[in-house]
A and B are shown apart, each in its own frame.
Chain A
């Protein structure tokens, strides 16, 4: 494109201003990236939630327990392919701020229910062979330096252990990885049989059930049937899709997320307004020159195009730097310090960011380009 050098030179006419504009756009897109990562973190589970999975919990609340005997009864409901149970252990590793979920499960069934957790075959075998065995997600393993063979002590907050020592100890036999970035790699799973035998109270009770359906289309029907089966029992249930369940769970922390997002969004748009204004100013300063170009034979359309190219270049430079920085920084630095189960910049949001960049170039260039388009040569020259 032979006009590119002309545009390029105009861009660097005021180096500092252009650099600051690019920088502010870059900051806006860096913020955007973190915003996307935080949102992805808060909504994990919602997006990955299997369409074909239901959660069955106590009707009153998730912290009320259900009898383990429901497992077989749920399995009998038509449309149910598989069912497993989970329980919130809620223990503490060393000190309370070291938070990661611990959940007692039946290893084989659980791994079958959640294929997104990948565990090497021999580690799985080791887990089946070790009653006190536990597996942990890669993220938590890295964070606390857990290695296979380690004995991990967990202080209980809900489930006391029968016998002399209150502390639970698990032998780490495996480290699982998520099948994709959205999978939660922060949890520790240990064996339900060990848990049930060693806990001092509440034996035979579990937290909730996860049901896989034969057909995702049946989800409402099966949920109704399950709830109906247990109505009028001492433990009434509420069955809902995994997605709905995770969403209602996420709402408890969601308010803070919403505030963070509102602030970041406001900052983002403020920066965009500033950048757009700077662009408009840069063009207004040059109306005389644009008039001269038109006198030389540059058409109105070409004059407009040159201005748009300029704003595009600024936006693409700023957006490129911002999104690129976001992409790398988010991998290296998580400002929440691991409070979110996952922290990454989803590719989808990256693509939206690229589209926003182009849109920004158009938007900030629009009015200046219009000025250039409409500029009447004779009048522009008079003002010189």
Chain B
């Protein structure tokens, strides 16, 4: 059995919307092994992003616990969480979310600004990450000068440049055509297989989830191992 990297335990998350209380996650349990590539599926509004955010320490659970590599994430305060995210988590977003004012190289260097690395080291690390995603020839381009697939590869380079423990991808191919999407999935698969990166990927696309080692379905606040009918 794999070592457990992510351990979500009896997680409850609800939101208030006016007088109404929306229960998004109800007593949810999830374990992700180190080195696993997990796909998280489910209908729109089922709480996939919410779960991903909770694992990544972007939000606090209403109750329950999240541990990542033994760290009780829900216990950390804001400052500790930020530092923890910088060290352990790489986020990949559906709409890439690159800084439009920065070149690919500078976008990838962003998370490194939070480390003690020198300017030269930052440059080298970013160049290495861009090489992994196959964008060595695009380092000085700005997001607006790149295709969606290329931007997402920059997004992945930015996520892996700090060598995080865990990659959290929220619909990374959701905005891409089939071909570019496939390239991104190839890349994630390679990162998982060759570099041993643990990946949790939210997707709507069965084609994408097929690339993952395991698929779970989120429905009515609970996780299912089978696609619900």
Q: Check: B99 CB closer than 8 A to any chain A CB.
A: yes
A 296-316 contacts with B by CB, 8 A: 296-302
B212, chain A: closest CB distance, angstroms: 22
Q: Does A6 reach chain B (CB closer than 8 Å)?
A: yes
B30 lies within 8 A of chain A by Cβ:
no
A384, B101: Cβ atoms under 8 Å? no
Assuming A384-B93, A384-B95, is B101 touching A295 (CB within 8 A)? no
Alpha-carbon separation in the docked complex, A271 to B89 (Å)? 44
Give Cα A2 to B112, complex, Å. Answer: 10
CA distance A98 to B74 in the complex (A): 81
Given A2-B119, A378-B59, A381-B58, residue A296 in contact with residue B91 (CB < 8 A): yes
Within 8 A of A (CB), among B72-129: 78-79, 82-87, 89, 91, 93, 95, 97, 99-102, 106, 110-111, 113-114, 119
Please determine whether B101 and A9 come into contact, CB atoms closer than 8 angstroms: yes
Residue in contact with B97 in the complex, picked from A9, A12, A297, A384, CB distance below 8 Å = A384
Q: Is the CB of B93 within 8 A of A6?
A: no
User: Is A288 touching B101 in the complex (CB atoms < 8 A)?
Assistant: no
A299 and B82: CB pair below 8 A?
yes
Judge whether A97 is part of the interface by a CB distance below 8 angstroms.
no
Contact call A296/B85, Cβ cutoff below 8 A: yes
Chain A binding surface SS class:
helix
Q: Mark A344-384, 1 if CB is under 8 A from B, else 0.
A: 00000000000000000000000000000000111001101
Q: Output the least CB separation between A67 and chain B (Å).
A: 80
- B56 on the A face (CB < 8 A): yes
**Do A13 and B101 touch (CB < 8 A)?**
yes
Bound form: Cα–Cα A302–B86 in Å: 13
Q: Does B192 contact A (CB under 8 A)?
A: no
Is B46's beta carbon under 8 Å from chain A?
A: no
In the complex, what residue of chain A is closest to B114 when comparing beta carbons?
A297
B158 and A296 within 8 A (CB):
yes
Chain B residues with Cβ below 8 Å from A12 are 101
CA distance A255 to B89 in the complex (A): 67
Q: Assess whether A381 is in contact with B102, with CB atoms less than 8 Å apart.
A: no
- The verdict on B53 contacting chain A, using a C-beta distance below 8 Å, is yes
Closest CB of chain B to A88's CB: distance in Å? 66
Verify if A317 is at the interface (C-beta below 8 Å from B).
no
Structural contact, A296 and B111, CB atoms closer than 8 A: yes
A113 at the interface (CB under 8 A from B): no
A293: interface (CB < 8 Å): yes
Q: Is the CB of A299 within 8 A of B79?
A: yes
Is there an interface contact between A377 and B58, defined as CB atoms closer than 8 Å? yes
Check if B93 sits within 8 Å of A381, measured CB to CB: yes
Chain A: interface residue count, which band? 20 to 34
A152 sits at the interface (CB 8 A): no
Inter-subunit contact B102/A9 (CB<8 Å): yes
Specify the main secondary structure of chain B where it touches its partner.
helix
Nearest B residue to A300 via CB reads: B78
Mark contacts of A30-42 with chain B using CB atoms, 8 A cut-off: 1 yes-contact digit, 0 otherwise. 0000000000000
The verdict on A6 contacting B102 (CB below 8 Å), with A292-B97, A297-B111 known, is: yes
Closest to A288 in B: B97
Determine whether A234 belongs to the interface, using a CB cutoff of 8 Å to chain B. no
Interface members, chain B 26-81 (any A CB < 8 Å): 49-50, 53, 56, 58-59, 78-79
- Which residues does chain B contribute within 8 Å of A298, judged by CB atoms? 82, 86, 114
Q: Which residues of B contact A378 (CB under 8 A)?
A: 50, 53, 58-59
**A10 to B, closest residue via Cβ:** B101
Say if the beta carbon of A116 comes within 8 Å of chain B: no
Within 8 Å by CB of A295, from B49, B78, B85, B114, lies B85
Distance of A181 Cα from B13 Cα, bound (Å): 71
Given the known inter-chain contacts A294-B82, A299-B82, please indicate yes or no for A5 contacting B100, CB distance below 8 A: no
Question: Contacts of A2 on B, CB cut-off 8 Å?
Answer: 113, 119
Using Cβ atoms and an 8 Å threshold, which residues of chain A touch B83?
A: 297, 299
A144 at the B interface (CB under 8 A): no
Check B58–A295 contact: CB distance below 8 A: yes
Question: What's the Cα separation between A301 and B110 when bound, in Å?
Answer: 16
Q: Which residues of B contact A296 (CB under 8 A)?
A: 85-86, 91, 110-111, 114, 158
Give the interface centre of B82, B111, B119, B158 by most chain A CB atoms within 10 Å. B82
CA of A239 to CA of B51, assembled, Å:
85
By beta carbon, the residue of chain A nearest B50 is A378
Tell me how far the C-beta of A343 lies from the nearest C-beta in chain B, rounded to whole angstroms: 44
Would B99 and A297 count as touching, CB distance under 8 A?
no
Complexed CA–CA distance, A83 and B102 (Å): 74
What A residues does B106 contact at CB under 8 A? 5
List residues of B whose CB falls within 8 A of some A CB.
49-50, 53, 56, 58-59, 78-79, 82-87, 89, 91, 93, 95, 97, 99-102, 106, 110-111, 113-114, 119, 158
Q: List 22 A-B contacts (CB under 8 A).
A: A2-B113, A2-B119, A3-B113, A6-B102, A9-B101, A289-B97, A289-B99, A292-B97, A296-B85, A296-B86, A296-B114, A296-B158, A297-B84, A298-B114, A299-B83, A300-B82, A302-B82, A377-B53, A378-B53, A378-B59, A381-B49, A384-B95
Q: Can you list the 3 inter-chain pairs with the closest CB atoms, starting with the nearest?
A: A297-B86, A9-B101, A299-B82
Contacts A292-B99, A297-B85 known; 17 new A-B pairs at CB < 8 A: A9-B99, A9-B101, A9-B102, A10-B101, A295-B91, A296-B85, A296-B86, A297-B82, A297-B87, A297-B89, A298-B82, A300-B82, A301-B79, A377-B59, A378-B59, A381-B49, A381-B53
